[in-house]
């Protein structure tokens, strides 16, 4: 197999927030409820997980909430149930933590890196070197930008750090799309011909919403650059998608995410193999 065999989209919660965090210049009174995304990929040799959602302890515990999410720029974190979100959605997908052979993070924001603790000492974690350098940089600057060091500062995490674009598994390429954060990466996913072919470009937070992509509107959250600088990564992802004939999937668009989740579930449901 030279590509991905199956794609499962996971929703690990939601965020109720000003749309201005997704589209620069939007009226701050306009608010959205956006999904917290993760992508599960069946690759040669095991499952690869892209992003890990929230750390629920920092939301449910009153003191920890005040310390972390209570200072988080008018963003309200919403969990999907009473348990551990990542464990619950993986259980529904029939995939145990021990079946995940690698993890890749788009970036270190709390809604993407909060579950990385589950894989400390058990699976390698792919990220950009610039992202980890910033995330472990002088406190409290990263935390002011929504990176909670408690989520990822663990000496038992086996980091696999890249300095730019890199293939991290057959059919999966991390694409450096810095701007939202210093080392943000998106993912080109190519499906093996034996599994039907095709593929997707998962933008994650390089482009939150469809209008960021189709209308080339700057994103609202960025570090170390001007808002207009966030258009270059969007255009690059669009060029990659156009070259291969793959759609570019925005990271937090509620309509696109719900539709594609159903579409991919239906694509593999008739012929899905046992996942154990």
Comparing CA positions, the residue from 189, 55, 41, 156 lying closest to residue 103 is: 41
Question: How much is the average pLDDT of 101-130?
Answer: 98
Residue 74 neighbours by CB distance under 10 Å: 11
Quick one: pLDDT band at residue 270, thresholds 50, 70, 90? low
Is the domain spanning 6-271 CATH 3.60.15.10? The answer is yes
Distance CA 117, CA 128 (A): 18
For residue 68, whether the previous peptide bond is cis, meaning omega lies within 30 degrees of 0, is: no
- Domain limits, the chain: 6-271
Answer yes or no: is pLDDT of 155 > 50: yes
174 DSSP 8-state letter: E
pLDDT at 116 over 60: yes
| pLDDT above 80 for 276 | no
What is the pLDDT confidence band of residue 45, given thresholds at 50, 70 and 90? Answer: confident
Taking the C-alpha atoms of residue 3 and residue 193, their distance in angstroms, rounded to an integer, is: 8
64-78: per-residue pLDDT in tens? Answer: 999 999 987 899 999
pTM to 2 decimals?
0.96
CA–CA separation, 166 vs 76, rounded Å?
A: 34
Mean pLDDT across 120-146:
97
Q: Which residues contact 34 (CB under 8 A, 6 or more apart)?
A: 14, 15, 17, 22, 208, 252, 253, 254
Q: What is the pLDDT of residues 165-181, one digit of tens each?
A: 999 999 999 999 999 99
Neighbours of 170 (CB within 10 A): 16
Confidence label for 272 from pLDDT (cuts 50, 70 and 90): very low
Q: Which of 265, 276, 218 is nearest to 39 (CA)?
A: 265
**How large is the greatest C-alpha to C-alpha distance in the chain, in angstroms?**
51
Higher pLDDT, 176 or 28: 176
């Amino acid at each position: 197999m030279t590509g991905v065999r199956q794609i499962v989209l996971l929703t690990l919660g939601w965020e109720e927030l000003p749309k201005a965090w997704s589209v620069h210049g939007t009226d701050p009174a306009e608010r959205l409820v956006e999904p917290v995304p993760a992508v599960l990929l069946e690759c040669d040799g095991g499952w690869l997980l892209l992003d890990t959602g929230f750390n629920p302890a920092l939301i449910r515990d009153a003191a920890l909430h005040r310390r972390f999410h209570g200072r988080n720029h008018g963003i309200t974190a919403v969990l999907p149930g009473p348990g551990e979100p990542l464990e619950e959605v993986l259980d529904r997908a029939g995939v145990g933590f021990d079946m995940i052979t690698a993890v890749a993070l788009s970036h270190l924001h709390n809604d993407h890196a909060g579950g990385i603790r589950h894989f400390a000492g058990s699976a390698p974690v792919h990220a950009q070197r610039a992202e980890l350098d910033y995330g472990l940089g002088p406190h409290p600057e990263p935390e002011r930008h929504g990176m909670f060091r408690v989520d990822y500062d663990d000496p038992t995490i086996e980091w696999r750090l890249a300095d730019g674009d890199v293939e991290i598994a057959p059919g999966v390429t991390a694409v450096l799309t810095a701007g939202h954060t210093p080392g943000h990466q998106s993912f080109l996913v190519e499906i093996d011909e034996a599994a039907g072919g095709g593929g997707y470009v998962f933008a994650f937070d390089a482009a939150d919403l469809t209008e960021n992509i189709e209308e080339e509107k700057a994103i609202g959250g960025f570090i170390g650059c001007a808002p207009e600088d966030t258009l270059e990564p969007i255009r690059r992802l669009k060029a990659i998608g156009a070259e291969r004939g793959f759609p570019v999937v925005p990271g937090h668009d509620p309509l696109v995410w719900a539709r594609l989740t159903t579409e991919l579930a239906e694509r593999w449901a008739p012929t899905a193999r046992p996942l154990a």
